[in-house]
Amino acid sequence: MKKVVLVTGANSGIGLALCKRLLSVDDQIHLCLACRNMQRAETARAALLCSHPGADIALLKVDVGSLKSVLEAAKELKQSKRYRRLDYLYLNAGIMPNPRIDFNAFINGLFSRKAIHMFATGEGLLTQEDQVTEDGLQNVFATNVFGHFILLRELEPFLCQSEKESLVIWSSSSNARRSAFSLTDYQHTQGKESYSSSKYATDLLSVALNNHYNKQGLYSSVVCPGLVMTHLTYGILPPFFWTLILPIMLLIRMFTNSFTLSPYNGAEALVWLFKQKPESLDPLAKYYSCTSGLGSNYVKPVKMDLDEEAAEAFYQKLLDLETKYRCWQN
């Protein structure tokens, strides 16, 4: 049976590298690139077909930050009858709008005992300016979490099938931090660390999804790709600056193993999960892409800093929000 794989945010960065690597592992897969910009999606498909001529690559238009677009995309997928099931759903699209570095925190952190942790996670170094979407949601939450959740819910008939397990894989981050997230403000309307909050939310959600869906054959995992040079990180510092500090980054990599740097290396854990049996995975672990000082790639599972009650409480809040939006749609 050929595997069906859908990747959101597949037209650039880690998503595109993942698609390329998946085709290298198995060029018989049915690959669906779910992107908001069809021109960029076409360019990505052309690039993938260059390295894998004859690959089965479809495009699906979806803006995960817009509920209307997510519902339309799911409807299109169901109506097209192109696929009967989905084996892997990579929820990879993500944003970090208007990032700012706190240089004082950087200098203080540099000379503290937490220096290595700071470089591995970016903790306390970054703030973002969020916006409100047309649906009245915080943009980072809508894009990184809620749009993906609704997509998953809409695609349930493709994912929950008795004959075979399916795996949902969330692109989380080492920047996910418990203290940046609050159940009473899960959209992060108050603070300035919406990215960190949204990634912690994906971690919680993945745990709750396993509790609710494993019996139906659906499994969920989270990955951290490491620090990767993509449009996202070029929004934090310009490309020339990253090139300038490359020797320093290679040095830091020797201590943290978390500077994977290239999208190819960053996709390591995502590709590794493709090769695993979903039921053998640890629902409470985050799978990190790592690159050693000598440049070899490996995957490291790390227990997540969360409790299952919080995961369940957050899941219930998402269900409530979903009900509210579905009422508005009708």
Ligand X SMILES: CC(C)=CCC[C@@H](C)[C@H]1CC[C@H]2C3=C(CC[C@]12C)[C@@]1(C)CCC(=O)C[C@@H]1CC3
Ligand Y SMILES: NC(=O)C1=CN([C@@H]2O[C@H](COP(=O)(O)OP(=O)(O)OC[C@H]3O[C@@H](n4cnc5c(N)ncnc54)[C@H](OP(=O)(O)O)[C@@H]3O)[C@@H](O)[C@H]2O)C=CC1
Q: Does the protein bind ligand X through residue 101 (CB under 6 A)?
A: yes
Q: Which is nearer to ligand X, 13 or 147 (CB)?
A: 13
Q: Does the protein bind ligand X through residue 270 (CB under 6 A)?
A: no
How many other C-beta atoms are found inside a 10 Å radius of the C-beta of residue 222?
28
Q: Which does 13 bind (CB under 5 to 8 A by kind): ligand Y, ligand X, none?
A: ligand Y
Sequence-ordered strand ranges (E) for 110-264:
126-127, 166-171, 218-224
Q: Does the protein bind ligand X through residue 254 (CB under 6 A)?
A: no
Of 3, 20, 152, 170, give the one whose Cα is nearest residue 77.
152
Min CB(309)–ligand Y separation in Å: 26
Residue 37 one-letter amino acid:
N
- Interface residue with ligand X among 15, 109, 122, 263 (CB under 6 A) is 122
Min CB(118)–ligand X separation in Å: 7
Pairing assessment for the beta strands 100-101 and 126-127 based on DSSP bridges: antiparallel
User: d(Cα 112, Cα 106) in Å, to the nearest integer?
Assistant: 10
User: d(Cα 10, Cα 48) in Å, to the nearest integer?
Assistant: 11
Q: Does the protein bind ligand X through residue 220 (CB under 6 A)?
A: no
Stretch that binds ligand X, among 3-11, 42-50, 66-74, 114-122 (CB under 6 A): 114-122
Task: Give me 283's structure tokens.
Answer: 């629902």
Stretch that binds ligand X, among 50-58, 147-155, 167-175, 178-186 (CB under 6 A): 167-175
Q: List residues near ligand Y by CB under 6 A.
A: 8-9, 11-15, 35-37, 40, 62-65, 92-95, 143, 171, 173, 224-225, 227-228, 230-233
DSSP 167-213: EEEEE--TT--GGG--GGGTT-SSSS-HHHHHHHHHHHHHHHHHHHH
Which of 88, 90, 186, 195 does the annotation list as catalytic? 195
- Interface residue with ligand X among 249, 250, 310, 321 (CB under 6 A) is 249
Q: Which does 36 bind (CB under 5 to 8 A by kind): ligand X, ligand Y, none?
A: ligand Y
Would residue 195 show up in a list of annotated catalytic residues for this protein?
A: yes
Stretch that binds ligand X, among 40-48, 157-165, 248-256, 274-282 (CB under 6 A): 248-256
Residue 180 one-letter amino acid:
A
User: d(Cα 282, Cα 293) in Å, to the nearest integer?
Assistant: 27
- CA-based end-to-end distance of the chain: 38
Sorted by sequence, the CB contacts under 8 Å of residue 71 that are 6+ apart come out as 150, 154, 329
Active site residues: 195
List interacting residues with ligand X (CB under 6 A).
101, 119, 121-122, 125-126, 173-175, 227, 233, 236-237, 245, 248-249, 252
